[in-house]
């Protein structure tokens, strides 16, 4: 029985992580579409969170993104998806563009 509990806990953690990252990607893609951006690349940043290092909660997902605007300009920066308390249950994205 002990092995069953451990396996169920591990499975639950994996399911939650997969859902969280999938949901954050969906939030990021919606944000890009609403703002007329095309995502050229995006990298989840678990440890190196750039300007969000001290201000992102464990409920939020931070990406380093490269986007192209409708006029062809390429921009890079940091995107924080989700809210402090509710995480990726809320469709929030905060961007800090590189200079």
Looking at residue 1, what is its pLDDT?
A: 60
Task: Tell me the pLDDT tens digit for each residue of 16-66.
Answer: 999 999 999 999 999 999 999 999 999 999 899 999 999 999 899 999 999
**Per-residue pLDDT tens over the stretch 61-91:** 999 999 999 999 999 999 999 999 999 999 9
Kindly tell me if the per-residue pLDDT of 3 is higher than 80.
yes
Both tokens assigned to 61: 């997902």
């Amino acid at each position: 029985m002990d092995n069953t509990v451990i396996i169920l806990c591990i499975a639950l953690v994996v399911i939650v992580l997969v859902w969280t990252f999938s949901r954050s990607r969906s939030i990021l893609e919606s944000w890009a579409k609403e703002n007329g951006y095309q995502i050229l690349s995006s990298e989840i940043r678990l440890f190196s969170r750039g300007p969000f290092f001290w201000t992102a909660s464990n409920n939020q997902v931070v990406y380093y993104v490269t986007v192209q605007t409708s006029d062809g300009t390429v921009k890079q920066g940091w995107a924080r998806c989700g809210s402090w308390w509710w995480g990726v249950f809320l469709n929030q994205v905060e961007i800090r563009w590189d200079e």
